[in-house]
Amino acid sequence: MWGVEPIELDVDQPWPDVDADAVFSANTVHIMSWPQVERMFAGVGAMPSVKTFCLYGPFNYGGKHTSESNARFDAMLRGRDPASGIRDAEAIVALAGKSGFTLAEDNAMPANNRLLVFSRERL
């Protein structure tokens, strides 16, 4: 349904009971700890109405940065908080699979970012 306001979700707090078709998160997994990323996927996975989960941001592939600017950004993130940093796309895809999602699209975006689109059948 269009015109519905976004709902703020905090992975460190109980999630509200919502009936949503999709979840979108931008520029989050690289500033969160890995346990928080896991909680985000578990939370989205526990929402039975969600069939699409879109995740935007920088990702590594095969353990390698996609650009020198992403390498610098990752170093800055890890210097500020060792628990953060650019995540490997393969680890994110595996985590999504544990929550019932499969990678449907991997889209190149501006500034060395990606839009990962995960999907699943309604539960």
In a domain, residue 3? The reply is no
> Would you say the C-alpha torsion 31, 38, 66, 74 has a positive or negative sign?
positive
Mean pLDDT, to the nearest integer, of 10-36?
Answer: 92
In a domain, residue 17? The reply is no
CB distance 20 to 47 below 8 Å: yes
In a domain, residue 2? The reply is no
- The closest of 70, 102, 101 to 87, measured between CA atoms, is 70
| Residue 36 structure tokens | 């928080």
| Residue 12 structure tokens | 């460190």
d(CA 81, CA 98): 26
In a domain, residue 5? The reply is no
Global model pTM greater than 0.75: yes
In a domain, residue 115? The reply is yes
AA identity, residue 94? A
How many structural domains comprise the chain?
Answer: 1
- The CATH number given to whatever domain includes residue 36 is 3.40.50.150
In a domain, residue 78? The reply is yes
Q: What digits encode the pLDDT tens for the residues 66-118?
A: 999 999 999 999 999 999 999 999 999 999 999 999 999 999 999 999 999 99
Domain residues for the domain of 43 are 22-119
